[in-house]
Structure 1
């Protein structure tokens, strides 16, 4: 498996979301979850257009 920029950014967003859950900041949780869904959704659409997605 090759590490890509999308994987690094996705991992960072997930890590930040988990940290915000532990500290209980709901506004940051919503913002990170929204950003994570948008970023991963965009990555999925791009990979489907390139023929890499399943």
Structure 2
């Protein structure tokens, strides 16, 4: 193994952030947060979703 660590922090509206972490392991920067993490996910085609539910809204 190459013993690389990668991760996303505070990513918004992404269903499976672990997919982004896996893709980041091959990138120059292996940790992204907030807007940069969300934009990275969008550019890589990782599915988005709205986490709000009726229960959460009330």
Q: TM-score range by the shorter chain?
A: 0.3 to 0.5
- Determine which structure has the larger strand proportion and give its number: 2
Which structure is higher in RCO with an 8 Å CA cutoff and minimum separation 6?
2
- Determine which structure has the larger helix proportion and give its number: 1
TM-score by length of 1: 0.37
